[in-house]
Amino acid sequence: MRHRVAVPAVTGQNTAVAHRVALVHDWLTTYAGSERVLHELLALYPDAPLLTSLVRPEALPPELARARPSLLQRVPGAVAHHEWMLPLMPLAWRLRRPVERVAAVVSSSHACAKAVRAAVGIPHLCYCHTPMRYAWDFASERARFPPVTRPAARAMMVGFRRWDRATASRVTRFVANSHAVAERVERYYGRRAQVIPPPVRTDYFTPDGAEPGADFLYVGRLVGYKRADLAVEAFADLPYRLLVVGDGHLGPELRRRASPNVTFLGQVADDTLRDLYRRARAMVFPADEDFGIAMAEAQACGTPVVSVDRGGARDIVVPDRTGWLARPDDVADLRLVIRRAAREELDRPAIRAHAESFSAVTFRDRMRSAVDEMIDDPRPC
């Protein structure tokens, strides 16, 4: 089903620059968090050339479906199984002609997009969702690979780390979506990154004034690093109900392990998700996340968040004001914090006010300034 998401009008944008920026994204086979970031960049630069490695038009808003894919698009099955194309990604980006006749390149990258080549003299800003997880944190991604392929995949990632670090030299400036990602950019690439949180639909995810219910909520893909397993395990010894929104390859295993007070809802429509946020006692999200847009969406609805004291949660959760933080990877401590969330009341209007700092308008303003500053002063930093 094609998504129909309107690109917001941007007042006061520099149209001369808007027609001279090229946008680049890793692959466009679904519409999730990083694709929403790209959508907001297209709100700034609606006429920008849009490059990617693979594209599935039927899964995307029309604005993104026009992206120009690489030669990988011609490989049978590549779009449906893009992760299997990883060994060919460096070659695919290498075979593309350098981007020309633009004032700047802006890549939205969590894997390979920052490898795009630009003609000499054209600066490149990379909005880094995270350095490639496959390469730098294989342990958290290993479940994506069939067991028989994991030794070869792990060995391949040694080369990917070298390539990933080398392509960082093509970037003029890095922008990270959280302080946690900025730290990784410095650790892996030796580069500093400005922090600009990703856009949250605070105009859509809003409180409705109704009293919250007693149920807790988890929202996220059911994959290893999202740590839905910790939430499911914690609720096995709790008297509260947990509603789980999301699908993923760990779904069948989690359903087998879950206690009767855990209900799996799968993917839900946006209006249903908004109602779930509004009615939840708190959202439980124990992942070491790059940023964690779902946490910010919950807070935009006035709902507090239980997360862990690591990663993007540190940018979103203000302890005892907008939520609570547990020790990472500690089920017992997570359970204690959930019990605390069940009995304590936080100021929901204050939670909403904090979430407004992550609005799409704020994101566009900060990204426009970052791009314009780089064009004015294209020295690498």
Supply the pLDDT for residue 92. 93
Supply the pLDDT for residue 82. 81
Query: 92: which 2 tokens?
Result: 């695919």
Report the predicted TM-score, pTM, of the whole model to 2 decimal places.
0.86
Tell me which residue of 195, 205, 219, 220 sits closest to 362, measured CA to CA: 195
Regarding whether 256 and 234 lie in a shared domain, the answer is yes
207, part of any domain: no
Sheet holding 323-326, edge to edge: 262-266, 242-245, 216-219, 282-284, 305-308, 323-326
Regarding whether 161 and 226 lie in a shared domain, the answer is no
Regarding whether 187 and 239 lie in a shared domain, the answer is no
pLDDT band at residue 195 under the 50/70/90 scheme: very high
50, part of any domain: yes
- Do residues 274 and 299 touch, judged by C-beta distance below 8 A? no
Query: 286: which 2 tokens?
Result: 């124990």
16 pLDDT above the threshold of 50: no
Regarding whether 171 and 232 lie in a shared domain, the answer is no
19, part of any domain: yes
Regarding whether 29 and 66 lie in a shared domain, the answer is yes
Regarding whether 371 and 346 lie in a shared domain, the answer is no
Q: What is the pLDDT of residues 71-89, one digit of tens each?
A: 999 999 888 888 778 888 8
pLDDT band at residue 303 under the 50/70/90 scheme: very high
Regarding whether 368 and 319 lie in a shared domain, the answer is no
**Rounded average pLDDT over 159-168:** 90
Give me the number of domains the chain comprises. 2
288, part of any domain: yes
52, part of any domain: yes
Give 47-51's long-range contacts (Cβ < 8 A, gap of 24+): 47/18, 47/19, 48/18, 48/19, 48/21, 48/22, 48/23, 48/102, 48/106, 49/22, 49/23, 49/99, 49/102, 50/22, 50/23, 50/24, 50/25, 51/22, 51/23, 51/24, 51/25, 51/96, 51/99, 51/116
| Letter string b/e over residues 294-306, b meaning 16 or more CB atoms within 10 A of that residue's CB | bbbbbbbbbbbbb
Phi, psi dihedral angles at 245 (to 5 degrees): -110, 125
According to DSSP, residue 97 is labeled P
7 pLDDT above the threshold of 80: no
Regarding whether 352 and 223 lie in a shared domain, the answer is yes
Regarding whether 305 and 256 lie in a shared domain, the answer is yes
**Rounded average pLDDT over 52-57:** 94
**Measuring CA to CA, how many Å separate 211 from each of 54, 205, 245, 287, 297?**
45, 16, 21, 27, 18
358 pLDDT above the threshold of 70: yes
- Do residues 200 and 297 touch, judged by C-beta distance below 8 A? yes
Supply the pLDDT for residue 148. 62
**Rounded average pLDDT over 359-373:** 96
Regarding whether 142 and 248 lie in a shared domain, the answer is no
8 pLDDT above the threshold of 50: no
Q: What percent of the chain has pLDDT over 90?
A: 78
**Rounded average pLDDT over 88-101:** 93
**Close Cβ partners of 2 (under 8 Å, ≥ 6 residues apart):** 58, 59, 60, 61, 62, 65
| Letter string b/e over residues 234-243, b meaning 16 or more CB atoms within 10 A of that residue's CB | bbeebebbbb
**Close Cβ partners of 233 (under 8 Å, ≥ 6 residues apart):** 257, 331
Instruction: Provide the mean pLDDT of the chain.
Output: 90
8, part of any domain: no
CB atoms closer than 10 angstroms to residue 318? 18
Q: Which domain holds residue 85?
A: 15-199+360-376
Supply the pLDDT for residue 157. 75
Give the DSSP H/E element, type plus range, for residue 105.
strand 104-109
**Rounded average pLDDT over 227-248:** 95
381, part of any domain: no
Regarding whether 315 and 177 lie in a shared domain, the answer is no
Regarding whether 330 and 230 lie in a shared domain, the answer is yes
The CATH number that applies at residue 279 is 3.40.50.2000
3, part of any domain: no
Report how far residue 255's alpha carbon sits from residue 265's, in angstroms, rounded to the nearest whole number: 11
Supply the pLDDT for residue 223. 84
pLDDT band at residue 2 under the 50/70/90 scheme: very low
